[in-house]
Structure 1
């Protein structure tokens, strides 16, 4: 008789038991029924298909194919949870307007396992409101006034050093480097390239593991991301200890940077953030303030290069801004407010190539939607890839047309939501707007550029990025 080792028998037994549980779970009945759809493979669901669609730049098809088959409300299984997908605009409106009533934020489990659970991403209720109050002391529109000149000076110095006439560069990587310099300065007052490099490598490893399957084995991206987070927190511990001393001795101000703001600003509950909360929220802000902005900036540059007429119109806008200033004077908030067409171009770039997938919510109560049951603790997903390329919302959706955003074009509400919506709209949207306009100003007033690989595609990994780094040739075009 053939015999098997006890370990093999145990593994097979667990797999069979898991399959039985999955089958029972998948076939559980409700009245009314849950939305139509498929839970996909046992355990994995449709997670691998979603991840593949991100890397293959086919996310719109991932959602549209299921909507064609199942309708505007369908179920799937992603990152370990049954998930209901609601189509815009009514689906987006439902999720944004019912936050805190029927739904709450719910990020993929790997993100919480890597980042920790004390950032604003993972908070709800009064605690989230209190933390948002603290962050807005740094991120609000008026707070931006303090940081525009610093950002302008850093961007200008970076371009003068690394963007050379006639050179061929991978623009995406230069953009990331420039924005890291800005973010590290605004967040931690870092002005030393060596300190920047020490944080840059672990931040990249952290980012690349955020949406991987949570397999904590040596060599996996998930494991590398967890180790990278530990390195980042170790370095932030040193910054925090040093800053506390500087604040006590009057060598640093409470408004100097994000670190000072987080250490000195009390929330609406009168409490200061703990050191662990400070570290996790700085990590969150680097993710929200740097990587999505770098993605949007690179895609905007690609769209501008593909449409020379757009470059000409942008340049006129920025030459007018520059002409009203002394050549050595950094930008001010009032200058950014004159860059209306620039912001239209960025909005259209984000529509064509969104920097991020979207987000999820979790049902905090059993509910019925459109005649279907959604059990408590099921997830909802909303994604900008469900709306941004639909002709019903955006005529000629594949056409680059910044005039869609001229203010009188009548965009349908809840169809264009690059920063989310409702009470959990991205708190860093004003920071992103500032960074994008400042950098584009310095680039447009000094250079024109052409694509060396016109067919280079954009992939989500996990944020949108040019597959080969946006290979361009620079041509000096100074004021």
Structure 2
């Protein structure tokens, strides 16, 4: 009996040891496969980091440098301008190479398609415009261009932007100080939301704006969706904003009176009422959400960043002011609004704007996905892998821009107007998905600067420091006092 029990104990020990050995072998094999992904060619050099987590923590680690992010720069120095990594559970090839970036953009819809990690998709919606392709994307783009395209910009928006900037600057100048990022964000949100959804100040619309504030704070943060984290606040902000938009959509659709197409929402609803609509309600709501966000957040960040540069560069400010004072002197009626001809004449202003967005680098990465195995620069990008084009690595490349960290608008002198992404400049993206709001953003910045430098001076009170996580932020804000000119 004791002998049988002893044998059973031995057998159980052997089974336990065997199971532990198999588990250990499986773990070793899994870790090896994770670190050495399969590829029908030569993968770019790099590290896949920890299983599942990859190098996500380091990617989202805050930094205060104005140079290329430490995450990208360290790997560029070790592996070169094209390297592999893993972010939020997905294998990604990161490109800081201008030729590779340009190729990726030009092959949109052929070898690559727009793609963002699952966490980004959760934030912006499964049916957001960045996740759509082919005919539907082109249709939505044409729809958006009705609002932000050059024709409407010239005929309608320029005048409305001028009035909004002048009115808000006047209000701000009556206060001891303002936090510039918050003030500009509110100004642009009010302006664009009125065009998109006939926004008027009310409890509901204020709730919508506050929801976007919560959304923005966690937009580019580590994707841990538990209470107390920035990402959780972001998702809750999106949920509240979508609830408000859905309520507005239902109210508009169920309204007994027929409305003229007075805002962008009306055009969307008109499409939804068709017998065979191109849009679904989900796509329409995700579109409105993305447009509201994109209209104000990136431009307010760029303008605030630009104001810190103008504050510390009196020579630039002097030439910028002279250009706009010349416009006023040549105007028959000094109190009339800005004209399209005046706007197009702002040569130095556009140089300032290009330099601001080059250095601001609002977007740390633009994502695409390989549709098949792709050979480029001696490497293979496997089908299904993500590709992150890194604009800051191009904009801050000393081989492209002399003294790249220096604010120098004169570097753009005598260069043609930028109407699309190039190998050297991709602040507004590139290829088929070049930002449809680029012209609107540039006009808003130009008109804001015009109203500012012709009527006000200012002094910095506090803040102005930036942090990247990896998106741009102002942890202490940027507080200034506006002083009306005599």
Alignment partner of 1:393 is 2:412:
no
Query: What's the CA shift for 1:467?
Result: 2.9
Aligned with 2:169 (options 156, 159, 175): 159
Post-superposition CA distance 1:132-173 (Å, at most 9, x none): 1211121211121322222222222222222337x3332122
Aligned with 1:437 (options 424, 432, 446): 446
Aligned with 2:281 (options 275, 280, 286): 275
Query: What's the CA shift for 1:274?
Result: 2.6
Query: What's the CA shift for 1:437?
Result: 1.7
Name the TM-score, length of structure 1 as normaliser. Answer: 0.88
User: 1:170·1:468 contact (CA, 8 Å) conserved in 2?
Assistant: no
Alignment partner of 1:105 is 2:111:
no
Distance 2:240 2:470 in 1: 21
Query: What's the CA shift for 1:453?
Result: 4.3
Find the residue that maps to 1:445 and give its secondary structure: helix
Query: What's the CA shift for 1:215?
Result: 2.8
User: 2:456·2:482 contact (CA, 8 Å) conserved in 1?
Assistant: yes
Change (3 A) 1:196 1:346: farther
User: 1:19·1:42 contact (CA, 8 Å) conserved in 2?
Assistant: no
Distance 2:353 2:266 in 1: 31
Alignment partner of 1:189 is 2:198:
yes
User: 1:208·1:461 contact (CA, 8 Å) conserved in 2?
Assistant: no
Distance 1:16 1:36 in 2: 26
Distance 1:132 1:408 in 2: 28
Post-superposition CA distance 1:49-88 (Å, at most 9, x none): 1111556656443323212211232111112211112233
Unaligned runs of 5+ in 2: 1-21
Name the TM-score, length of structure 2 as normaliser. Answer: 0.86
Q: After alignment, is 52-61 or 37-46 more displaced?
A: 52-61
Aligned with 1:404 (options 402, 411, 414): 411
| Corresponding residue number in structure 2 for 1:71 | 80
User: 1:104·1:362 contact (CA, 8 Å) conserved in 2?
Assistant: yes
Query: What's the CA shift for 1:17?
Result: 7.0
Find the residue that maps to 2:457 and give its secondary structure: strand
Distance 2:103 2:405 in 1: 27
Change (3 A) 1:325 1:22: farther
| Corresponding residue number in structure 1 for 2:159 | 149
Post-superposition CA distance 1:21-72 (Å, at most 9, x none): 3432322443532111111122211111111155665644332321221123
Distance 2:225 2:24 in 1: 19
Post-superposition CA distance 1:260-279 (Å, at most 9, x none): 2333369xx98442332221
Change (3 A) 1:191 1:151: farther
Distance 1:436 1:278 in 2: 28
Paired residues, number: 460
Query: What's the CA shift for 1:363?
Result: 0.6
Aligned with 1:296 (options 292, 302, 306): 302
Unaligned runs of 5+ in 1: 1-12
| Corresponding residue number in structure 2 for 1:7 | none
User: 1:22·1:43 contact (CA, 8 Å) conserved in 2?
Assistant: no
Q: After alignment, is 377-386 or 216-225 more displaced?
A: 216-225
Post-superposition CA distance 1:6-27 (Å, at most 9, x none): xxxxxxx999977853432322
Change (3 A) 1:15 1:162: farther
Alignment partner of 1:459 is 2:481:
no
| Corresponding residue number in structure 1 for 2:11 | none
Find the residue that maps to 1:400 and give its secondary structure: coil
Change (3 A) 1:15 1:387: farther
Distance 1:262 1:310 in 2: 43
Aligned with 1:447 (options 444, 450, 456): 456
Change (3 A) 1:153 1:421: same
| Corresponding residue number in structure 1 for 2:224 | 215
The within-5 A match list for 1:233-244 is 233-244=242-253
| Corresponding residue number in structure 1 for 2:99 | 90
Query: What's the CA shift for 1:198?
Result: 1.4
Query: What's the CA shift for 1:193?
Result: 5.4
Change (3 A) 1:339 1:373: same
Query: What's the CA shift for 1:209?
Result: 2.5
Query: What's the CA shift for 1:348?
Result: 0.5
| Corresponding residue number in structure 2 for 1:357 | 364
| Corresponding residue number in structure 2 for 1:475 | 483
Q: After alignment, is 272-281 or 376-385 more displaced?
A: 272-281
Query: What's the CA shift for 1:448?
Result: 1.2
User: 2:370·2:383 contact (CA, 8 Å) conserved in 1?
Assistant: yes
Query: Which has more radius of gyration?
Result: 2
